[in-house]
Structure 1
Amino acid sequence: MADSSKKMNLMGLTTLVTVNMMGSGIILLPTSMAQLGAVSLLSWIVTAIGSMAIAYCFSQCGIFCPRPGGLSAYTEEAHAKSGFFLCSYLYFLSLAIANVAVAISAVGYMTSFVPWLGTGAIPLFVGTVGLLWLTTVANFGGPGITGRIGAITVWGVIIPVAGLSIIGWFWFKPDVFAAAWNPNNLPIQEAISKAIPLTLWAFLGMESAAQASDAVENPKRNVPLACLLGTLGAAVVYVLSTTVIQGIIPNAELANASAPFALVYAQMFNPTVGNIIMALAVMACVGSLLGWQFTLAQTAKMTADQNMFPSLFRKVSKRDAPILGMLACGVLQTLMALSTISPNASAQFTKLVSLAAVTNLIPYVTAATGLLVMMYKARVSASIYTRNTILLLIAMSYSLYALVACGKDAVFGGLIVLAFGYLLYGFLSKRFVENPPAAQVNTDNA
């Protein structure tokens, strides 16, 4: 059993959730949303409600199912052993894909300081892989150190984004915001649907606390609190910051910005301040990637503990870090970066994000539905069952809507990955037969 002094406390865990959610998505988000117009801000309402409902369901699952395994353990409650494997498998892949996307976005910011990184496919690949391995090795110190580093790097997001949410209103111009409202004259419903994958990407990470449950102090209390506090805090900052920036920077300029928060601070103050914000953004992306690498390794370790992933993922160092598993994850992510290599960071990023969202949403659905069985086993009161079921249906409605909004190509790719997962489990399933047949003796004559 791991030494409790090496485990993450509530502050570290909430920070991990916040970093995972805010570390990369929000920094690039204003540019992506400006391409649809300020009308896309309405999707924040839909995604915030859906994400809070999902986070609430996960917090309840953490109360009724405190055993290690996170989303996979919740899934197993309703969908048996195969559900545990498929949830872990899809979630593991989604994290690996997302890590490559986060690294690409970080390199995109770094091109202002190291222009060579933006000169072609090879420099972009080298920068991406370099960051992936840097954050992999940084996790060798164990979960406690990851939490402490995250507590520092999160300020790279909090300072520019939360700061803009507060002081940005002094520069806010209603006429600039009104001109940016719907430049493409899209129907409201279509604009919201097109923005859903973008806002969902920003909220991915709300489940990080659950996935890291066996590396956390007092998980029965801290996992639910971290899920809710991290998601609520991020939702408030997201809505305020993306609204105020639409009223400061003209929409056409914002839609083509490679670093929107650096741009808005440069306009509010001066270019030097903009460069400082750019540096903070790079720090935040690296911190986000560090947190995601930790969550990826923990997901693989928990699955290996269930005899479903290779045993190398199970082995931990004296500091409770699954180093061999982290090295294997680093190799996998390097191959993913190579397979999607592109001279354009934005094109490569977009290619990865939609597939990551789909392969993340399916585990959300399977894990949250496990709550129904957990409540039945716990014999909860009728009022608790009704309240939780209503919120579960809200969470599921949003998840299904978001799957549709991710587009046919991403959903098709997710379906192929899921089907391949069933094939893999077919080879594993014999390990879990309760009464294996006795060895058969061959009595045939030669």
Structure 2
Amino acid sequence: MAENNSTKMGVVQLTIITAVNMLGSGIIMLPSKLAQVGTMSVLSWIVTLGGALCLAWVFARNGMFSKKSGGMGGYAEYSYGKAGSFMSNFTYGLSLVIANVAIAVSAVGYLSVFLDMKLSPVEVAIWTIILVIVTTLLNFGGAKITGRIGSVTVWGVILPVVILAVLGWFWFQPSLYVASWNPHDISFFDGIASSIPITLWAFLGLESAVANMDAVENPQKNVPIAVMAGTIGAGIIYILSTNVMAGIVKNSALLTSNAPFGLTFSTMFGSWAGLVVEGIMVLACIGSLLGWQFTIAQVFKSSADEGYFPKVFSRVTKNDTPIVGMLILMTVQVLLSFMTISPDLNKQFNVLVNLAVVTNLVPYLLSMGAAKTIQLGAGVKPTNSVFRLTNVIAVIAAIYSLYAMYASGSQAMVLGSLVTFFGWTAYSFVAYKFDLSSDKLEKLNNNHAFDAEEDSVKE
């Protein structure tokens, strides 16, 4: 029977969904970070867009041919076995936890401006913790309500960003833009390198673009088109919105602002517009936090189901909510909030972003390294021109990822390395499940059962 495609998405719908997935709350503090470099950061955008397109292409190809579940962990398993799959899940899960705290910090920044409050570093941490706790508790009702809230609040970020990218040019002053090219006298290569992590931060999540593969007409053709077009679309909006802003507001003002989009709309339309934008962006961040709290818990749950993480993360309530896992992850986020206290909210945000980027790039690198194996396993011929092209693009994407790690700075690299090495240590506790032969594993389990029975007899 022919497959009915009437209910499936077309390439245009998938492209829009892909772009919207990337245009989340990660952008709202970008202009303040980029102001530390100046408008020469537009060159970093171009480099990052090229790197993101390479990553997106390989993720699309991996998604088309992979037969394993688990997203990037499934991809990594092709080339690196269960150890690589574990490491991919471990670092990806932690990067999401770190990114969540960064989103909460962004929300606090906008909230402080919206309510006209001057917060001390400790007060910023306390408000961040409150947001983390509240958004965790609100998820106890299940995914359905969370999904509905997130699908509405995300537009609180998307609409201001798109409006600024389209209409902001009427307020754009070329002289102001030129004056902001390199206001802090940073060397050319240092300037580009220092803004690579924050521009990549905006594209994190592009790997999720292949998640809707089964719901798309002609996925072999349409998924790569949608992934590439969606990434380009998001990149253009990012570049236009952040660069037009630099021609509307002075660099010195952007540099110290905790709500750069609110400041820009105030300059364009008046203070009322700034307040509206600040308010809806706070709501958008809270909605994003709601969604990510549930998503992170699901990522840890799926890893626990695979046998990677402790079984406590697999426990769910009647409405399939992993509450215990959420509470553990909430505790980790609270500790991170205290650990990143800084006199400058932007610095606090930067520490989190750089660490999130480094840890997220580990599964990216593993996925790039799996591309050739995945295609060969699916029967793609080595003489195929697309096969060869994909392998070349995967190498370029891997080089870009390594460069982005380096550009994140020594502190993020050291912390990211510690996280990764801790991951290898953690894998040693579960490796026997996958690396012992089935007969040896069965014998080991029988011995455990015998020992438990013997202990109960002694008691």
Residue deviations 1:7-31, cap 9 Å, x none? x999999888656643333111111
Partner residue, 1:390: 392
Question: Take 2:65 and 2:294, find their aligned partners in 1: how far apart are those partners?
Answer: 25
Separation in structure 1 between the aligned mates of residue 216 and residue 174 of structure 2, nearest angstrom? 48
Change (3 A) 1:240 1:225: same
The answer as to whether partners of 1:12 and 1:147 remain within 8 angstroms in 2 is no
Residue identity matched to 2:26: G
Paired letter, 2:149: I
Task: Determine the structure 1 residue equivalent to 2:456.
Answer: none
Q: Superposed, which structure 2 residues align to 1:2-13 within 5 Å?
A: none
Equivalences for residues 26-175 of structure 1 within 5 A: 26-114=27-115, 118-175=118-175
TM-score (norm. length: structure 1): 0.88
Match of 2:350 in 1: 350
Q: Is 1:436 matched up with 2:437?
A: no
Root mean square deviation of aligned Cα:
3.0
Unaligned runs of 5+ in 1: 1-7, 442-446
Within 5 Å, give how 1:236-385 maps onto structure 2. Answer: 236-342=236-342, 344-381=344-381, 382-385=384-387
TM-score under structure 2 length normalisation: 0.85
Corresponding position of 2:454: none
Task: Return the letter of the residue paired with 1:306.
Answer: E
Structure 2: runs of 5 or more not aligned: 1-7, 451-459
The partner residue of 2:411 within 409, 412, 418 is 409
Deviation of the 1:340 alpha carbon:
2.9
Which 10-residue stretch deviates more, 82-91 or 407-416?
A: 407-416
Counterpart Cα distance in 2 of 1:414 and 1:239: 28
Deviates more, 1:158-167 or 1:306-315: 306-315
What is the Cα deviation at residue 99 of structure 1? 0.8
TM-superposed CA distance for 1:256, in Å, is 2.2
The alignment partner of 1:265 has SS state of helix
What do residues 259-296 of structure 1 show as CA deviations (whole Å, max 9, x unaligned)?
11111111111101111011121122222223322331
Provide the rounded CA distance (Å) in 1 between the counterparts of 2:419 and 2:278: 36
The one-letter code matched in structure 2 to 1:235 is G
Q: Distance in 2 between matches of 1:218 and 1:317?
A: 32
Separation in 2 of the partners of 1:186 and 1:119? 30
Counterpart residue identity of residue 419, structure 1:
F
Counterparts of 1:17 and 1:131 in 2: how far apart (Å)? Answer: 27
2:344 & 2:249 partners in 1: Cα distance?
Answer: 24
Q: Percent identity?
A: 43
SS of residue matched to 1:418: helix
8 A contact 2:34–2:195 mirrored in 1: yes
Q: For 1:185-264, what aligned pairs fall within 5 Å after superposition?
A: 185-209=185-209, 221=219, 228=228, 230-264=230-264
The 1:316–1:220 alpha-carbon spacing in structure 2 relative to 1, beyond 3 Å, is: farther
- Aligned partners of 1:342, 1:329: CA distance in 2, in Å? 22
